[in-house]
Chain A
């Protein structure tokens, strides 16, 4: 840890879903396919989230993605630089993105070690040829298109799919607490990104023109109602009720939060009972997506590390 740093802190968490359609709709230079328009409400929601993130000046972004699936253990990207072309296996027509990212390897190692201390099976991914999944890339692009903040990528062990939902989410709770300890020990100002959709019922066919917004709406009324119920509770800061309802929400709305990112993030943040900022909600091929923020620093629930850029510089140098 650089000598100038204090104890680290999680300064904010974001629910940051990863439909590749949002990147496609934005037409960044990194993505090959071009769109006419599309999913503006969600893209503009991310624009607001980007401003918040910018003001927070974090040292590192930690993202948990359901599309890096590891059956044996919780894995962490552990290579200083990763680059390549990510083609979405489900939507290759809209997402073919050239990426380059820097990893905060020291923090990844610390998360991995702390996770093991919590009794979890954890592994570092050290292979430089590894292709980063599109969920991680989409979330990172949408929240920080400049790609100038180091990241820690976490895989989805998908324990809730192999164990009971409750048992699986308990593992994610431990992973979250381990993540927090690692951040504090290494003195990082960290932002957590839970890359999850809410209701995950989706259409089974794509419109001929993917960005034909006349075809976009919730796939299911009950799924939409579930989303609104959970978002409303989160806006009220009623975290206890959200987590009491979470297994039922997962079952009835086929919610992607089952893959664990949402629980991981809340456990790391200490399940704060603070009102979430809803930056926006929208559907993508019928699924429900919300961009939401929990600003712990504003709520005086974080113990921030030094706001100087020294630690960020140290990470870049290490990378």
Chain B
């Protein structure tokens, strides 16, 4: 029968310490993430209304969503099945916003769509991805077919309409699926907005604020 000697206990402690270090997150650069998504953001005469807005992402382990069965901005727009989500990761952010059965009138121009969705994904050290789904879009009853290209712009008298608007930012981008504004600046409506960004601060930190966990 074997007996574990005092010397061997030290070896076991050493092995335990090695296991502890293996289990503890390695030193890594601290990441800063930005994420937000909203189904509707409408500003009319300086008054802003948001529908299904996630708010800002709280960090690399946060996930936020917002939803509404139906939503409306009086005298401006209606929509159904509004949803928005933003998800943080240590090295990535995913954001998405959508709504269906959009009906909107801006400066006398009717705009409708079966479905509108914006998505943005940013990966640390990689290119950001922006995607837009717009189905059944009509402007004053005339079907409009998105090209899929970023920042497709349609100018209609008093209106500027941008489809798949992609606005780069530090470490990421904002994707606005459908952005309608009047040239006088009094009305500004974004349908489906997704923001995702992740960047490294260049500093280093341990997984628990630099304090090693207890070994046992």
User: Is the A/B pair a real complex?
Assistant: no
Q: Which residues of A does B touch, CB under 8 Å?
A: none
